[in-house]
A and B are shown apart, each in its own frame.
Chain A
């Protein structure tokens, strides 16, 4: 956008400074526009990451004015305690949930990309949970899952009175929690897919329909191949998300019982046991793991350069 405006700008008016240094102005303009987001990005993303890296080489407790450099000690400690990595098992629940979420989102996006009654309403309904604050979502579902709560009452209307402890049953707690995660994040996938599907040229499926292809076949052979980059992006986001689940289980169960995730464990190390150094190292490891998985995934499923994308 910046470039377009520069190209179409009128000849400079005979004002003093514009006439003196037109080229300098022009070079500075994009940076001026970028300054605000760049400063924010640096302040809130890169500076904290750099400090986290530096903390991970110290034995800092999070408050103390002095900290000692301990080299790779934290990383050694981390990797000599396999129980710290066993919590990744919890992430499997969220990984399965992420796949379910993508399939559901794809289904709804496909259905709602065709002419359907109340189309806009349904789009809104599906996207709405994503707009809610995660903390609010967690609280709402906490009441939903309580014994005698909303879910039990609805099931009671249907004649089911199982007395299930949705969060209290250790075999069920992670399923309930990842269900909340699907409810919350499906809207995002849905919107991404819907946008991608609508960018597929309509002549393609109109032609296929004329040739007698059914809707599922159009979806399978034309729509899905055209939106592959978006699906693969969703997968990467899903995997990264399921490894770094935090707010929903942290608020709903506090990570008690079997619901502890890697990030909750890291937060507990840092803020309960004052091992900020060790926790920073754990956070760095998580970052590296996610980068690695993304890289492997890109290797296995390379992104195709389609003309439409």
Chain B
């Protein structure tokens, strides 16, 4: 008899849970409470869960060491890490419930207008931007909801030893010089001059990082929001896409792009089997590790800016990576804020990954020393219109930061798809113009 009663009860319970899971965040649209740091660190208590995409730093204990360090200042706060491999996909779905950790990185697919519905306010932009750079990315109506975890510049990571053997000693100044350099690598060494990482896709979409490096314009990205043709001759996208296309069509890239492997590519570059890849400066630390593992000197890993100059100077726009935010539904707002502040202000995280700190007063990472020495112009790429650009990008189904757009260029370049570069860029521009005309 007890069983008989339990079964319908269990069914009812299951359906309630189900409705709760489906309805979830749909109702949460009220005013957002702010998350302020605890007044007295020694007294602060709570247990927080931090969602992270750095599963490697969870497994190798790096994040655990940060937490131990954090506990020296905040002994009462317990920090747990939840490493997620498919971060974007999984967190986006979890955000339909209230259970998406206490501190998280905002998935890039979440529209900026929705930030107040999901995250706690961190403070007025006017105050926070004095201490931190890149606050624009997480700011809605003058209030900051997310602070950049770190920022990067984009460029070519290359194997210095291979380039020296090919007889190249100076950084190329134009795309043409860069192609000549790759050709020299092909002619004089056994290395694959350039590796696209076509199969994994996301490293290939990193070419979007050339935005602003050619025009040297801090507003380059914002201008996309109103540009009728972002691929016009001489534009950032046109020059970078043409360079990629030429690299592949001149057979300076790997023979079969469809079977590339990102994890393997690090070792290949370190051992000099690949000569270069276009990646964010975050990759330098990983490539140096790979070199050490392969028994090579980490100093063989070099990093050079996009081969284009304005007034005799290279330009390297800095762009923020994921931004930290606090779950609006978290019951430990103060503890969560304490962690965010501590990671940004006191941890060695950005130095460890060779990222550019969001703190204005922090020095550049050592990996970018050559950039400083060469007088490369570093500037913050404005993100003021980033939300609008993403909206247009999605509406147009162009996918500036998605693999398919550049995979198609690579396919045309290697003769695996019909068409030519001009036609492909015109088609993209047409889609873009339609979406701009519709207002996103």
A residues bordering B, Cβ < 8 Å? 17, 25, 28, 31-32, 35, 39, 43, 47, 51, 61-66, 142, 145-147, 149, 165, 167-170, 173, 253-258, 268-269, 271-275
CB neighbours of B95 from chain A (8 A): 63
B259 touches A65 (CB 8 A): no
Decide: A147 near B256, CB < 8 A? Known: A63-B109, A256-B403: yes
Which of chain B's residues has its CB closest to A81's CB?
A: B397
B259 touches A147 (CB 8 A): yes
CB neighbours of B28 from chain A (8 A): 65
Measured between alpha carbons, how far is A258 from B404 in the docked complex, in Å? 11
A14 to chain B, nearest CB (A): 16
Measured between alpha carbons, how far is A61 from B395 in the docked complex, in Å? 11
A-B pairs with beta carbons under 8 A, tally: 108
CB neighbours of B397 from chain A (8 A): 269, 273
CB neighbours of B107 from chain A (8 A): 63
B259 touches A63 (CB 8 A): no
A65 touches B22 (CB 8 A): no
B258 touches A168 (CB 8 A): yes
A302 to chain B, nearest CB (A): 39
B residues bordering A, Cβ < 8 Å? 1, 3-4, 7, 10-11, 14, 18, 22, 25-29, 89, 92, 95-96, 107, 109-111, 114, 117-118, 198-199, 201, 255-259, 394-395, 397, 399, 402-404, 407, 411, 414, 416-417
CB neighbours of A31 from chain B (8 A): 7
A161 to chain B, nearest CB (A): 14
Measured between alpha carbons, how far is A142 from B198 in the docked complex, in Å? 14
Report 10 cross-chain contacts, Cβ distance below 8 Å, ordered by A residue: A147-B255, A147-B259, A165-B256, A165-B258, A169-B416, A254-B201, A256-B199, A256-B258, A269-B397, A272-B404
CB neighbours of A167 from chain B (8 A): 256, 258-259
A257 touches B399 (CB 8 A): no
Residue picked from A25, A268, A274, most chain B C-beta under 10 Å: A274
B88 to chain A, nearest CB (A): 8
Measured between alpha carbons, how far is A32 from B118 in the docked complex, in Å? 41
CB neighbours of A17 from chain B (8 A): 1
B110 touches A168 (CB 8 A): no
Q: Which of A61, A66, A149, A272 lies in contact with B402, CB distance below 8 A?
A: A272
A254 touches B199 (CB 8 A): yes
B4 touches A168 (CB 8 A): no
Q: Which of B18, B27, B96, B109 lies in contact with A274, CB distance below 8 A?
A: B109
Decide: A39 near B14, CB < 8 A? Known: A17-B1, A170-B416: yes
A257 touches B417 (CB 8 A): yes
Measured between alpha carbons, how far is A273 from B397 in the docked complex, in Å? 6
Measured between alpha carbons, how far is A255 from B3 in the docked complex, in Å? 50
B259 touches A64 (CB 8 A): no
